């Protein structure tokens, strides 16, 4: 086969409009072509299903695309397997980063260009910016056969989940676990064990998942972030987050262990 006939790895394109993804008329996300105009920027994302995937950020909705074709990331993740979750999560985070950092954050220059390693490099002051990742802890606290689930102020009615919060500057992840639990529900915990992590694209978190056990104190929701909290038995759980979220996976793991299905 002559060199010119060698098969190129094909490209596919995710179209973002603001914080939404564009689907085609069949509901598919991967376009064979980039948008013909109104493209603000394009970034490489990952290899996926044998394609080079790029994200394209649109300044306006292209002709022929209506608002019904715009889909929130969260609803796309509900049905996604782990490979698709990773692709969409990475694409969304890179898109958010680039959208929110179009100028150098040190000197305000608009001469921000991208290097080979997905950093933005300011040629005016030599400052280099990387995609923002915000580490968070998320913890399922247990007390005997029950687990602590809380209703946060931004949750849908009736929804309960694990406790979570951002790690502060200068703080270890374990210190953040202790502090967040104390701040949000007023109890002390012990036996903090790291479990696993998850990249979480709302908007750019890295969730570090922990289990911990109740030590002392009485549950007292802070009334701001947490409106209600209680101890729940595995066989009588409230409305929970979707299964793609590590919060749900922590709960499912605990329930599985309680019922003798895991470990
Ligand atoms: Zn600069």
Q: How far is the CA of 104 from the centre of ligand 1 (A)?
A: 5
For the chain, the structural domain boundaries read 9-100, 134-258
Q: How far is the CA of 97 from the centre of ligand 1 (A)?
A: 16
Global confidence as pTM:
0.87
Confidence of residue 249 (pLDDT cuts 50, 70, 90): very high
pLDDT at 8: 76
Q: How far is the CA of 19 from the centre of ligand 1 (A)?
A: 26
| Cβ count within 10 A of residue 196 | 12
- Considering the domain 134-258, what is its CATH architecture? Alpha-Beta Complex (3.90)
1-48: per-residue pLDDT in tens? 445 555 578 999 999 999 899 988 788 899 999 988 888 889 999 999
pLDDT at 2: 47
How much is the average pLDDT of 96-103? 90
Q: How far is the CA of 118 from the centre of ligand 1 (A)?
A: 16
Q: How far is the CA of 170 from the centre of ligand 1 (A)?
A: 26
pLDDT at 38: 85
- Do the domains 134-258 and 9-100 match in fold? yes
Residue 208: which residues within 8 A CB-CB, separation 6 or more?
A: 135, 136, 137, 138, 167, 173, 194, 197
117-160: per-residue pLDDT in tens? 678 888 899 898 889 999 999 999 999 999 999 999 999 999 99
pLDDT at 63: 79
How much is the average pLDDT of 53-76? 88
Q: How far is the CA of 105 from the centre of ligand 1 (A)?
A: 7
Residue 261: which residues within 8 A CB-CB, separation 6 or more?
A: none
Q: How far is the CA of 134 from the centre of ligand 1 (A)?
A: 22
How much is the average pLDDT of 162-188? 98
Q: How far is the CA of 121 from the centre of ligand 1 (A)?
A: 8
> What is the C-alpha separation between 183 and 135, in angstroms, rounded?
18
Q: How far is the CA of 130 from the centre of ligand 1 (A)?
A: 13
β partners of residue 150: 161, 229
> What is the C-alpha separation between 180 and 136, in angstroms, rounded?
10
pLDDT at 36: 85
Q: How far is the CA of 107 from the centre of ligand 1 (A)?
A: 4
pLDDT at 78: 86
- Domain 9-100, CATH class in plain words: alpha beta
Q: How far is the CA of 55 from the centre of ligand 1 (A)?
A: 25
């Amino acid at each position: 086969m002559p060199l010119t006939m060698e098969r190129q790895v094909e490209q596919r394109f995710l179209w973002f409009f603001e914080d939404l993804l564009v689907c085609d008329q069949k509901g598919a996300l991967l376009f064979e072509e980039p948008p013909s105009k109104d493209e603000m920027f394009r970034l490489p994302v990952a290899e996926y299903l044998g394609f080079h995937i790029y994200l394209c950020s649109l300044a306006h909705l292209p002709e022929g695309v209506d608002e019904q074709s715009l889909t929130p990331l969260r609803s796309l993740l509900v049905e996604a397997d782990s490979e698709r979750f990773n692709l969409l999560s990475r694409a969304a985070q890179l898109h958010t980063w680039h959208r929110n950092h179009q100028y150098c954050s040190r000197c305000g220059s608009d001469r921000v260009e991208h290097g080979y390693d997905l950093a933005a490099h300011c040629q005016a002051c030599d400052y280099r910016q990387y995609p923002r990742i915000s580490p968070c802890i998320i913890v399922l606290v247990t007390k005997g056969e029950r687990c602590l689930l809380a209703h946060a102020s931004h949750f849908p009615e009736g929804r309960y989940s694990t406790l979570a919060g951002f790690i502060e500057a200068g703080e270890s992840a374990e210190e953040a676990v202790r502090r967040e639990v104390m701040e949000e529900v007023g109890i002390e915990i012990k036996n903090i064990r790291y479990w696993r992590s998850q990249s979480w694209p709302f908007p750019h978190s890295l969730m570090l998942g922990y289990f911990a056990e109740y030590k002392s104190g009485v549950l007292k929701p802070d009334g701001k972030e947490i409106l209600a909290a209680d101890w729940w038995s595995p066989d009588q759980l409230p409305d929970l987050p979707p299964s793609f979220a590590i919060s749900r996976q922590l709960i499912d793991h605990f329930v599985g262990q309680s019922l003798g299905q895991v470990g």
